[in-house]
Copies of this chain bind each other. A is one copy, B any other.
Amino acid sequence: MATFTICCLPGDGIGPEITTEAQNVLTAIGRQFGHTFTMTDEPIGGAAIDTHGVPLPEATLQACRESHAVLLGAVGGPKWDALETAIRPEKGLLALRKGLSLYANLRPAVIFPELKEASYLRPDIVADGVDVLVVRELTGGIYFGEPRGREGEPGQRRAMNTMVYDETEVRRIGRLAFEAAQQRDKRLCSVDKANVLEVSQLWREVMNELAPSYPDVTLEHMYVDNAAMQLVRDPKQFDVVVTSNLFGDILSDEAATITGSIGMLPSASLGDEKPALFEPIHGSAPDIAGQDKANPLATILSVGMLLRFGLGLEQEADAVDAAVADVIAQGLRTGDIAGPGEAVLGCRAMGAAVVDR
């Protein structure tokens, strides 16, 4: 029995509607287990640009810092695509990650047994399911490296970015990945491009130095081009994948896609201190925004991760995961995961179904 402050950032597109359903689930968990969740909504992304002129208002960052955990919907949309780069909605997300020092992004790519046919891969490849956890470094690498920028007159324009890591950054994400592997099938695959990039050579070296401290985990290295192949050929070979910011951006989306149900996949972004950030991996889907068509399950499962990793409430997290597994087992489907001829629920009805469990 405790009181927790949860900072909610609905954001853009379908963000508000999926966040509402997730909040209802959180309220239901509070009722059932006797906790109080104090939830505040703060603006981020395009919504914040519209009202405050910036994608991450100082007050939003402050409210996050004062909370026990942060729940995000989604940011971005065509409305803000024409804006100059400095005030794009995505900048709000990058600034939030950096502002809260969330250096580890955990993205599980799992196939629910009942949703196997939704996978884009050949049935025999996913027959035994898929269960990959991508651990992506989130506050370093080429996303934040300096120097960066453009120079030169028209005719001589030139632009550059810097991919950089120091050993401290690699070590802390490496440790977290080894620990995650210890909780799972004890296989860790570190992905880099060490046959070309010096920054990858340091990455690989530090991963190798960590290995003896985790004798129960098998460490393997793979080049990023090969990893992009192997995820399609045989995703079962992976347990935990650890990689840098840019490679993780690409590979975690690829891993999520092969499950065929990205509307079902949550993510957690963690640092050494509280609060952590939880969000669905799908985007803001502006084409279906406000139409009660979105799948709220990824955001609801993000609440599950929030309870588990953000607040340490294991039982409560299990209850959320079980309720979602239950609605899926009962055949309830939103449009994105419905097979041909299956009845389709709206966002609100699906949220309510989970609350009922």
What residues on B are CB-neighbors of A149 within 8 Å?
198
What 0/1 pattern do residues 199 to 218 of A give for CB contact below 8 A with B?
10111011000000000000
Q: A157-B166, A163-B160 are in contact. Are A150 and B201 (CB under 8 A)?
A: yes
Q: A90-B196, A94-B196, A198-B148 are in contact. Are A120 and B232 (CB under 8 A)?
A: yes
Closest to A123 in B: B122
Chain A 218-238 interface residues, beta-carbon cutoff 8 Å to B: 224-226, 228-229, 232-233
Complex Cα distance A199/B157, Å?
Answer: 10
Closest to A150 in B: B198
Q: How far is the CB of A165 from chain B (nearest CB, A)?
A: 6
Any B CB within 8 A of the CB of A161: yes
**B158, B163, B196: which contacts A165 (Cβ < 8 A)?**
B158
Closest to A245 in B: B196
Any B CB within 8 A of the CB of A125: yes
Using CB atoms and an 8 Å cutoff, list the residues of chain A in contact with chain B.
76, 85, 88, 90, 94, 119-123, 125, 142-143, 145, 148-150, 152, 155-167, 193, 195-199, 201-203, 205-206, 224-226, 228-229, 232-233, 246, 249-254, 256-258, 262
**Can you report 21 residue pairs joining A to B where beta carbons are below 8 Å apart?**
A88-B195, A119-B122, A120-B233, A142-B196, A149-B198, A150-B198, A155-B167, A157-B166, A157-B205, A158-B165, A159-B203, A161-B162, A161-B164, A161-B197, A162-B163, A193-B246, A224-B249, A225-B250, A229-B254, A232-B254, A232-B257
